[in-house]
Structure 1
Amino acid sequence: MEASKQVDIWGADWYPLTQEVGYESLINIRPRQNNRSMDIQDPTIRERVAEIVKNLLGGL
């Protein structure tokens, strides 16, 4: 098993009652990746995070 790369690790929340993803986490503050907020700012990364979370936790 390979280790994860820091650039590929993002924080998110899952709200099972509404089946929604929240994108706010301290780990998301990444000045080197131009993400200076606790929110995931890149729409492509947000979409990918939502896809992964919904595939793993959707329906719970």
Structure 2
Amino acid sequence: MIYLIKEPASQKQIEEMLEILGSYIKLAVDIERGILAGGGELHADCEAVLLEDGSLQTYIWGADWYPLTQEVGYESLINIRPRQNNRSMEIQDSVIRQQVAEIVQQLLGGL
């Protein structure tokens, strides 16, 4: 199940997003709007939910959330963006990484 998260997620939402992969959740994070979509098998599926909700692709970055350790992973195919100077699956810009981490922690952390 993919959820569009605009407010801190409930424990039930976290559990349902974990159903697909078990130990972590694939995410797409809109750093402009401060929201994310999580769950499903592919970051691209989450990205599609954000795009459908009005997000701009330029601001959407792929990440993973590991609830047990409260850690964020920054690798995703949707992050390969030569036009934005990101030529890797990993988010290379430290400012963008920090924005992603803050949004994920705000919306998913602390449960």
**Do they superpose with TM above 0.5?**
yes
> Post-superposition shift, 1:5?
1.1
Aligned length: 59
For residues 42 and 12 of structure 1, the distance between their equivalents in structure 2, rounded to whole angstroms, comes to: 13
Letter of the aligned partner of 1:29 in structure 2? Answer: I
For residues 94 and 56 of structure 2, the distance between their equivalents in structure 1, rounded to whole angstroms, comes to: 20
Question: Is 1:51 the counterpart of 2:97 in the alignment?
Answer: no
Letter of the aligned partner of 2:62 in structure 1? Answer: G
Letter of the aligned partner of 2:55 in structure 1? Answer: S
Q: Which residue number corresponds to residue 32 of structure 1?
A: 83
Where structure 2 has 5 or more consecutive residues not aligned to the other structure, the ranges are: 1-52
Question: What's the % identity of the aligned pairs?
Answer: 80
Could you say which structure has the greater relative contact order, defined with CA pairs below 8 angstroms and 6 or more residues apart?
A: 1
Question: Is 1:15 the counterpart of 2:66 in the alignment?
Answer: yes
- Which structure's residues are more often strand, by fraction? 2
TM-score (norm 2): 0.51
Letter of the aligned partner of 1:6 in structure 2? Answer: Q
Task: Tell me the SS of whatever aligns to 2:86.
Answer: coil
